[in-house]
Chain A
């Protein structure tokens, strides 16, 4: 397709997690030096998604990074949102236990809507700049991530600590999982031989 020449692959990455864990700030922080102050968020028309190129080990990738902010309140996340995603970043706030405990719900949703078992998952503990208010230790989160077979990283969208690394590590893992992107046909030359497409409602089943 015109316009994507020179790209190794186009990768779809989702940011999910409770409200106010800092998903929007992470999305902005990946590309920009300025931090989104809490006060500004109300009046600011947020970014839905970004298309971005990323150079990784000498190869160019096109990333589409999607932010669910504003949707999760209404629980309108549907399979169309998850469809085709190769990477999912589950964000919690290290200073808010509820956001960590509810990761389980987000995993449930992932299992429901994201039928590709190879999709790369990463848990990201945001707001480590608020060290005094921290209630989730790195060790606890690491243990949970290990149990859930996901990548794990802590970061601060405010100080930028760990943000770039989070996206890079996720992309690296996706690249190391060729089944995620090499066999993926473009919509125009789609073939239905390999697996059922998304119009069917049946579940892929849990792979526990």
Chain B
């Protein structure tokens, strides 16, 4: 973070108080958002922090994405059904993003357009709010 000479994005875990550090006054992402591969996903101030179901990030049995996001073993105190996401209504607001075909439930997965890792988030086509959601803890952050 102290290094400002080159773009080095910082993983979510390094923010001790993400809801303060990552948000601007409008509850939007204060930083540019990158994939771990350093592909720019979303510019600052375009996504709104929301709490949404996290189980929809889980792939159905027997189905994979080309480059699966490594599942972290869930800790026992991590039972909350929701987690933080950056929500957008306009897919074209992304700089770079891949959108999967829908699975049976109507969920489409979002993945990195450069390295294809995913899901980084999802779009539930059955939900009335047509939100594109990026999991706050699956991307990295940079002030440029």
Contacts and interface: CB of A to CB of B under 8 A. Distances in A.
Interface of A: 1-4, 10, 28, 31-32, 34, 36, 40, 43-53, 62, 64, 70
Q: Which one of A32, A43, A49 has the greatest number of beta carbons of chain B within 10 Å?
A: A32
A147 B97 CA distance: 36
A51 B66 contact: no
Contact of A4 (B93, B97, B98): B93
Contacts of A2: 46, 90, 93
Interface of B: 40, 42-43, 46, 59, 62-67, 90-101, 103, 108-109, 111, 113-116
B108 A44 contact: no
B108 to A, nearest CB: 7
Contacts of A32: 114-116
Nearest to A67: B101
Contacts, number: 84
A47 B111 contact: yes
B99 A3 contact: no
A46 B101 contact: yes
A43 B95 CA distance: 28
Q: Which one of B63, B66, B91 has the greatest number of beta carbons of chain A within 10 Å?
A: B66
Nearest to A5: B43
B96 A48 contact: no
B127 to A, nearest CB: 18
Given A2-B93, A10-B92, A52-B96, A45 B113 contact: no
Nearest to B108: A48
